[in-house]
A and B are shown apart, each in its own frame.
Chain A
Amino acid sequence: MRHFSIELEELNHKLLEMAGLVEASIHHSVRSLVEQNRDLAQQVIRDEPQINRMEMEIDGLVTRLLALRQPVARDLRFLTAALKINTDLERIGDLANHIAERALSLMHHPLVKPMTDIPKMASLVQSMLLKCLDAFVKGDADLARSVLLADDEVDALRDAVYAELLVIMQRDPGIVPAAVDLIFVARNLERIGDHATNIAEDVVFLVKGIDVRHHAEHIEKTGDPAA
């Protein structure tokens, strides 16, 4: 096995290790919210610096490989995708941290309403992240594309949460602080969906060499920028 392949394998391993940490952070942050579990929320906050350290380590490794190995073709696509996926994973870690902080804040207030849409959103974005990471591991562009479709559903749920909380806040201004926390949680989950979408787009590029961001594929085929 050539030495460069071993280095790429090492990078792949580190990315998956980071993805595992990030997945656990989302899972714990959502559970801490739904179950009002202080320990889990605090664990997410404690784990965040490790995710940040891994981001820097992976950045350093990719930069070194770009400089020293001058990769081309699929090696180049892998390294550029790794750099972007790394950033998205770190941001997801941040967002999980924000959710954990809101969960702790919400523990000081009575429940605004029974949580239905937020757990649904959480389950959806966790599934998106799982699928895009699975697609990354397997090099499966079709699986990655399936993640892109799910993002609209997340956006719709976020809108539903906003609308419902708006009505509740108008009716009872006393619950505004707690409702604002929930709105931020919905916003954070929606952003996690966006980052999972970014990762899925990077996986399609990695596997197929096709840029599917911003409807680029449609514009390329049809010349229609209004897509």
Chain B
Amino acid sequence: MSQEGSAPSSQATPSGSGEQKTGNPPAAKKLSAVNLDFFYGAFQALHNISLDFQENHITALIGPSGCGKSTFIRTLNRMHETVKGTRLTGQIFLDGKDILTEDVNAVRLKVGMVFQRSNPFPKTIFENVAYGLHVNSFQGGKAAIREVVEKSLVKAALWDEVKDKVHESAFGLSGGQQQRLCIARALAVEPEVLLLDEPCSALDPIATAKIEELLFALKSETTIVIVTHNMQQAARVSDFTGFFLLGKMIEFNTTNVIFQNPGMTETEDYVTGRFG
């Protein structure tokens, strides 16, 4: 069992991997997966994944369908536990503490998640954002809740579009707005890490651009992990990229290296569309 502060360095860090100098100071390690294996029943979906996520940076996970990237991101806030018959071995450290041994609700407060399809609750915009506060027994009064809701909607770049209708149904929003609402809902509880599983796959280019700008703005206070099928999106938004194939992490490096001069043939074949 791990102890606080004992998280070992995982194998997949870009330092010393041939990346050219960027002039940026080295970032602190926020979240780490160490020797992660994952099984759906007898089927092994992840094979010995070790990966560090740098604080206040965006890491993209790419790979073909069924490669395990969505499975992996779901382990990072223990969403996999909602699926029966699954088994996980290995460790996941958040600030040096193994999240697999902590209270799951506490973990999900710190590690928020946004899914591929926006999933607002059948409530008002306001209630959607405030929902996490109620669930977590927020101690502030109504004014404090209003403040958090407004702040979260501002952070999610949605406030200007909804400030006059926050008490209307969330279902009246467009797809892109609903997705930003889900991000606002995740931000309301001030997560330290934000996981996004293909957040733009159902959005048009304008809504996608808004979400991407939002990620840039959020990374100064949050560590972000994004799963995406869109190579250009990974190249545009992320600082680091990990390439998954058949449940294994083939290559991890700065996004610059992955998209300009990847080290592995499999990665190059995938990012250039030669894969398969």
Contact = CB atoms under 8 A, between A and B. Distances in A.
Interface of A: 2, 4-5, 70-77, 209, 220
B271 A72 contact: yes
Interface stretch (B77-85, B144-152, B164-172, B256-264): B256-264
Query: Is the interface on chain B under 10, 10 to 19, 20 to 34, or 35 or more residues?
Result: 10 to 19
Nearest to A5: B274
Given A2-B274, A72-B235, A76-B259, 9 more contacts: A70-B232, A71-B272, A72-B271, A73-B271, A73-B272, A74-B272, A75-B272, A209-B260, A220-B21
Nearest to A75: B272
B20 A2 contact: no
A4 B54 CA distance: 35
A2 B260 contact: no
A77 B21 contact: no
Contacts of A220: 20-21
Query: What are the 8 closest A-B residue pairs judged by CB atoms, nearest first?
Result: A209-B261, A72-B259, A73-B268, A72-B271, A75-B272, A73-B272, A73-B271, A73-B262
B273 interface: yes
A4 B275 CA distance: 13
Contacts, number: 31
Nearest to A74: B268
Contacts of B262: 73
B263 to A, nearest CB: 9
Nearest to B232: A70
Given A2-B273, A2-B274, A220-B21, A73 B260 contact: yes
Most buried by B among A2, A73, A75, A209: A73
Contacts of A77: 260-261
Interface string B227-243: 00001100100000000
B59 to A, nearest CB: 18
Contacts of B260: 72-73, 76-77, 209
A73 B261 contact: yes
18 contacts: A2-B273, A4-B273, A5-B274, A71-B272, A72-B231, A72-B235, A72-B259, A72-B272, A73-B262, A73-B272, A74-B268, A74-B272, A77-B260, A77-B261, A209-B260, A209-B261, A220-B20, A220-B21
Q: Is the interface of A mostly helix, strand, loop or mixed?
A: helix
Contacts of A4: 273
Contacts of B21: 220
Nearest to A216: B20
Nearest to A3: B273
B28 to A, nearest CB: 25
A4 B20 CA distance: 29
A70 B262 CA distance: 17
Nearest to B257: A209
B58 to A, nearest CB: 18
A73 B273 CA distance: 10
A70 B274 CA distance: 14
Contacts of B273: 2, 4
A157 B173 CA distance: 74
Contacts of B259: 72-73, 76
Contacts of A70: 232
Contacts of B268: 73-74
Interface string B246-276: 0000000000000111100001100111100
B265 to A, nearest CB: 10
Contacts of A2: 273-274
A5 B275 CA distance: 13
Contacts of A76: 259-260
Contacts of B235: 72
B16 to A, nearest CB: 14
Interface in B57-96: none
User: Max chain B CB contacts within 10 Å: which of A2, A70, A72, A220?
Assistant: A72
Nearest to B259: A72
Nearest to B231: A72
Nearest to A205: B261
A5 B272 CA distance: 10
A78 to B, nearest CB: 10
